[in-house]
A and B are shown apart, each in its own frame.
Chain A
Amino acid sequence: METIKLTIDNKIVEVQKGTTINKAARQSGIDIPVLCYMELHDMNIENKPAGCRICVVEVLGRRNLAPSCATKCEEGMVVKTHTTMVLNARRTVMEFILSDHPKDCLICPKSGTCELQAMAQRLGIKEIPGQEIAAMSTYRKDTSPSIIRDLDKCIMCRRCEMMCNEVQTVGALSAVNRGFMAIVAPAFEQNLEHSTCTYCGQCVAVCHTGALTEVDHTPDVLRALADPTKTVIVQTAPAVRVALGEEFGMEP
């Protein structure tokens, strides 16, 4: 396999041809933050719409910043990943994303496991300038028997869309609308219930935020368990066993 050499943050890095800047940086121990990017190693599938623009880096001779998740390394390339220009850009773009995201983190089902929250912390965002005049893109909430879609929280990373189309090949989700109102939804913005969705839940598994969450049946189960007229037996479905293992940090 042909290799090429480039410089990332003054380090000379040798990588295979076709490697992205982000992967090359990671190989040499430089962690460039990514938000929308996701890689499914086993399946050789990547989600890289290059839409969030958080992973931008400076490339010598290029007139603008390059999204490191989607830009391939070139021979002799000189890359800077943490210059003031880059840090300011990441921060400002993150402020844009947060300015169009609800701030109800305390009561959000994703609180604590939210990747957007983690990224905001990592980038040190303590306030969102201009929030008082910023309009929010709001959508109808969609509750199906198993998945809740609260699209006000969607950041358009489009991982759910990739999961639905490329991995599960269900084809229920795709990007709809334009500009500020662009969102991922079933065709004609129908409810999930009326789409081809099979409730496989893979979109929920990859969602950064609380935009896609499971319907919580815990109170129903607790009530049933407390019912003295009911005989309680427990059986976990195969997928639930995996989910339980995941909670305990076990390997799949």
Chain B
Amino acid sequence: MGTTLREVIFEIGGGIQYGKKFKAAQTGGPSGGCLTEKHLDLPIDFDNLIAAGSMMGSGGLIVLDEDDCMVSVAKYFLDFTVEESCGKCAPCRIGNKRLHELLEHITKGKGTMADLDRLRNMSIVIKDTSLCGLVQSSPNPVLSTLDNFHDEYVAHVTTKKCPAGQCRDLMEYFIISANCVGCTACARVCPVNAITGERKEPHLINPSICIKCGACMEKCKFDAIIIQ
């Protein structure tokens, strides 16, 4: 009690692996919310966490770095609530399922700005009308990420890009011709033959065939394959 998030994450926990940038801290388990960099010096106690839009909850703390997509994080936590639903009241039985579907839709790059408003409205109604404590807090990850990482949601629905590079449907593998030596390693490892190119010539990935498995990127010794 009273220790700051910064102390827990950077001193006790030893900071973020591989020197990556801190993005968010999710506290309180699936019902909690995501806190941002501006909350790092917040002394952890019940009242402070609630005031910041999260909660103590189970006491769990998940630290997310720059490679984590906040829309996917919200979807991940909602997955749990959908699974846990008993099915008695409609906002949980159907509402949470619909929330999850809409998040899935957004991470596939098919969302619109209107969907973001709908996401917020559905979350608020589910919180207000549901029967038990589980569901009264289940949209918290959606609401807190919508508040604190609104730009990331907007990027998913407008430019159809995932800033964290985590949403598979929104990324494209790309070969930088200048780095490619034409060793053919990527073309040989590709399970769907999406990569073409002559030996010792820069290769090319056909995005309509590529299944985004990442095998080529792992195999390339010249850092010629990037995700865009």
A-side interface residues toward B, CB under 8 Å?
A: 49-53, 56, 64-65, 67, 85, 88-89, 92-93, 96-97, 99-100, 129-130, 133-135, 155-156, 175, 177-182
Contact = CB atoms under 8 A, between A and B. Distances in A.
Contacts of A135: 97, 101
Interface in B8-57: none
Interface of B: 82-95, 97-98, 101-102, 104-105, 115, 118, 121-122, 125, 127-131, 136
Nearest to B85: A179
Contact of A65 (B82, B105, B115, B129): B129
A134 B98 contact: yes
B101 A134 contact: yes
A99 B85 CA distance: 18
B89 A64 contact: no
B97 to A, nearest CB: 5
A144 B105 CA distance: 40
A181 B87 contact: yes
B125 A51 contact: no
A195 B73 CA distance: 44
A134 B99 CA distance: 10
B94 A180 contact: yes
A138 to B, nearest CB: 14
A130 B85 CA distance: 21
Contacts of B115: 130
B136 A156 contact: no
B87 A182 contact: yes
B93 A53 contact: no
B90 A97 contact: yes
A182 B88 contact: yes
Nearest to A36: B90
Contacts of A93: 90-91, 95, 125, 129
B127 A96 contact: no
A51 B89 CA distance: 4
Contact of B129 (A53, A175, A182): A53
Given A130-B101, A156-B87, A179 B125 contact: no
B91 A179 contact: no
B90 A96 contact: yes
Contact of B91 (A53, A129, A133): A53
Contacts of A182: 85-88, 93
Nearest to B114: A129
A56 B129 contact: yes
A178 B83 CA distance: 8
Contact of A53 (B84, B87, B90): B90
A99 B90 contact: no
A158 B98 CA distance: 22
Contacts of A49: 88
B84 to A, nearest CB: 8
B129 A180 contact: no
29 contacts: A50-B89, A50-B131, A51-B90, A52-B89, A52-B90, A64-B129, A65-B128, A65-B129, A89-B125, A89-B129, A92-B95, A92-B121, A93-B90, A93-B95, A93-B129, A96-B94, A96-B95, A99-B94, A100-B94, A130-B102, A133-B101, A156-B88, A175-B88, A179-B92, A179-B97, A180-B82, A180-B94, A180-B97, A182-B88
A175 B88 CA distance: 9
Interface centre among B91, B118, B130 (most CB of A within 10 A): B91
B86 A178 contact: yes
A131 B127 CA distance: 21
A179 B82 contact: yes
